[in-house]
């Protein structure tokens, strides 16, 4: 009896609550990483064996790319305008106006273009993917698919992942171009720079290595967003409340993992 009272007293302490919460959070995170890894392995196996519907991949690619495109263009344009506004005025005063376009191009192509495109697609499509699959899971539609002897990974997850890997690099290119054009607008409007001079500076700032880095980031970010959101949605249990929690968790996890891989890829392409 005394032992039970001591155990109850220990469990009621703040320190125990902190360590207990940290343990379960870490355990749950490891489980999620494991689920993501297993599903990604299955997706690649299905792709190698050509068991993924090409029509479904094209459909998912059009959905991911087209739906998020307006937001990608808008936020990238604004990012380019803001960067140019900060750089152009100061650089022109210091006699470095010929480098404004090159700087904006470097920043948009290597970093902000991929990140802005990834964020837009996470918010627009990643959350939608997680909510869609989570709703199917809690309403037992996934179980119904299994009873028809259809692999849910093959039908629900693989097309989305492959589509995102293919289409997000294109969104990155569009985001980078939009940002560079936004920088052109601001530079011409607020400084003595001409459009021809800015574009010539852009040309000097374009390097094949940076273009390859942007495309690689696009493919990696696309794959991360799709597999993370689909997996978290697929592992949802409970009811409508859990669907909302899974959607939020999918967005947070996607952004976090994308940021980690952003650093790794940037380090590889220095």
Q: What is the pLDDT of residue 190?
A: 84
CA 192 to chain centre: 37
Q: What is the pLDDT of residue 5?
A: 62
Q: What is the pLDDT of residue 67?
A: 83
Q: Where are the domains of the chain?
A: 54-268
Evaluate if residue 142 carries a pLDDT over 70. Answer: yes
pLDDT band at residue 22 using 50, 70 and 90 as cut-offs: confident
Q: What is the pLDDT of residue 207?
A: 87
Q: What is the pLDDT of residue 222?
A: 94
Helices then strands (H, E): number in the chain? 12, 0
More confident of the two residues 27 and 220: 220
Q: What is the pLDDT of residue 230?
A: 94
Query: For 55-102, how does the pLDDT look when each residue is reduced to its tens digit (9 = 90+)?
Result: 999 999 988 888 888 999 999 999 999 988 888 878 877 877 788 888
Query: For 181-213, how does the pLDDT look when each residue is reduced to its tens digit (9 = 90+)?
Result: 999 999 888 888 888 888 988 888 888 888 999
Evaluate if residue 175 carries a pLDDT over 90. Answer: yes
Distance, CA of 159 to CA of 56 (rounded, Å): 6
Distance, CA of 64 to CA of 194 (rounded, Å): 36
| HSE-up (13 A, CA, CB side) for residue 140 | 2
Q: What is the pLDDT of residue 8?
A: 63
Q: What is the rounded average pLDDT of the residues 250-255? A: 93
Q: What is the pLDDT of residue 2?
A: 56
Q: What is the rounded average pLDDT of the residues 39-48? A: 92
Evaluate if residue 16 carries a pLDDT over 60. Answer: no
Tokens 């936020």 belong to 75
Q: What is the rounded average pLDDT of the residues 231-253? A: 90
More confident of the two residues 169 and 148: 169
Where do runs of H (alpha helix) occur along 49-140?
54-93, 100-107, 113-121, 127-138
Q: What is the rounded average pLDDT of the residues 133-157? A: 89
- The answer to whether 143 and 31 have CB atoms below 8 angstroms apart is no
List the Cα angle 251/226/59 in 5-degree steps. Answer: 125
CA 151 to chain centre: 26
């Amino acid at each position: 009896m005394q032992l039970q009272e001591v155990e109850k007293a220990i469990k009621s302490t703040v320190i125990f609550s902190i360590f207990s919460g940290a343990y379960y959070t870490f355990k749950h995170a490891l489980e999620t990483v494991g689920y993501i890894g297993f599903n990604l392995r299955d997706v690649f196996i299905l792709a190698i064996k050509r068991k993924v519907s090409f029509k479904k991949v094209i459909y998912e690619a059009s959905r991911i790319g087209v739906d998020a495109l307006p937001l990608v263009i808008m936020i990238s344009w604004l990012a380019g305008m803001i960067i140019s506004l900060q750089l152009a005025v100061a650089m022109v005063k210091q006699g470095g106006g010929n480098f404004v376009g090159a700087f904006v191009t470097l920043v948009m192509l290597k970093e902000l273009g991929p990140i802005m495109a990834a964020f837009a697609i996470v918010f627009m499509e990643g959350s939608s993917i997680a909510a869609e699959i989570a709703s199917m899971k809690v309403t037992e539609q996934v179980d119904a698919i299994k009873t028809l002897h259809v692999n849910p990974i093959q039908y629900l997850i693989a097309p989305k992942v492959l589509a995102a890997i293919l289409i997000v690099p294109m969104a990155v290119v569009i985001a980078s171009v939009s940002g560079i054009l936004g920088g052109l607008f601001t530079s011409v409007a607020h400084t003595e720079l001409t459009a021809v001079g800015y574009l010539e500076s852009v040309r000097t700032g374009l390097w094949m290595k940076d273009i390859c880095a942007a495309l690689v980031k696009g493919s990696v970010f696309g794959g991360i967003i799709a597999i993370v959101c689909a997996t978290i949605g697929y592992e949802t249990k409970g009811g409508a409340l859990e669907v909302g929690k899974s959607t939020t968790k999918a967005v947070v996890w996607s952004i976090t993992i994308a940021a980690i891989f952003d650093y790794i890829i940037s380090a590889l392409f220095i």
